[in-house]
A = this chain, B = another copy of it.
Amino acid sequence: MSYLTSVSLCFLLCTYILADKSLNEVLINGDYDFIDLTYPFDNQTIYWPDSQEFQFTKKTAMFQRDGSWYASNDFTAGEHGGTHIDAPYHFLVDGLQVGQIPLNKLIIPLIIVDIASKVNDDPNFVLYKHHMDYMLNDNMGKPCLIIFKFGWSKFFLDKKKYLGINNDQLNFPGLSAEVAEWIVSSYKNVVGVGVDVASVDPGSSTDFPVHKILLGAGLYNIENVYFQRHIPDHGCTALVMPMKIAKGTGAPLRLVAICPKHKPEYF
């Protein structure tokens, strides 16, 4: 087909394409919410204490001689701050780097495990398997991303509280090694694990067993997920879209959930 024909047909058909039962129709007909689970990158973004914080290194913002506006910046940042992904390579020498993670692990059904009421703002809470005795060991059958909600997003603007900084120690909730082992051994279809705190390990951890277990099994981690509004615990699709740093150990992440506005009838 010539490009002219292609172009003209393309534009002619635009209104009709969407009359078909297409993905585009599904997404723009108002039945789904787009929920941003990402903190903005600015001078309040939380980084691990020894990491480079986000900052502009050169800022241009001025009117030109012809009266037009022009603005452009350079910036610097650590890979592991704000809402970000940990690639397996972060803790696994032959693990995937950020640029190698396949898209079918990044556009993925999302399961939210909301344990905020159990955590109850306790920075020493650690999630063990007994907290989830009612969960079955059955394989879930489909690939998915699990995000644990500890209820910590409300502290993000208070870095001392969010990280639980006390002298050189940190204190915030996290997963136990037991839960990490359980996920990788019983749920082979889980491709990644996210948390709404600064680390999948509890803040007090110094040897990071949860990182080692999850990344060691080839999963990716997502840290500092931003829960600013209600999100259904199932039925959403996660868009896990890291900056494509080819050899990245991690990267700033745009994390979005596409969620049905109405609960499935069977629920």
A136 touching B12 by the CB < 8 A rule? yes
**Which of A70-78, A155-163, A170-178 touches B?**
A70-78
What is the interface residue range for chain A against chain B?
A: 35 or more
Q: Is there an interface contact between B234 and A14, defined as CB atoms closer than 8 Å?
A: yes
The minimal Cβ–Cβ distance linking A231 to chain B, given in whole angstroms, is: 12
Contacts of A80 in B (CB 8 A): 72
The digit string for A7-37, where 1 denotes a CB below 8 A from any CB of B, is 1111111111110101110111000101010
How many copies of this protein are present in the complex? 2
Docked Cα-Cα span, A206 to B126, in Å, equals: 58
* Interface majority SS (helix, strand, loop, mixed), chain A: mixed
Contact A34 B142 (CB under 8 A): no
Q: Is A168 in contact with chain B by the CB < 8 A criterion? A: no
Per-residue CB contact flags for chain A residues 238-267 toward chain B (1 = under 8 Å, else 0) read: 010111111111101010101010001011
Q: Report whether A41 and B244 are in contact in the complex, using a CB–CB cutoff of 8 Å.
A: yes
Q: Is the CB of B17 within 8 A of A244?
A: no
- Known pairs A10-B233, A40-B245 / 11 extra A-B pairs, C-beta < 8 Å: A8-B135, A13-B266, A18-B141, A26-B26, A27-B107, A36-B244, A41-B246, A57-B76, A66-B207, A68-B91, A71-B249
A-B residue pairs, 6 tightest by C-beta: A241-B241, A8-B134, A40-B246, A14-B140, A52-B74, A34-B103
Residues of A within 8 A of B (CB): 2-18, 20, 22-24, 26-28, 32, 34, 36, 38-42, 51-52, 54, 57-58, 61, 63, 66, 68-80, 83, 89-93, 99, 103-104, 106-109, 111-118, 132-136, 138, 140-144, 207, 212, 233-235, 237, 239, 241-250, 252, 254, 256, 258, 260, 264, 266-267
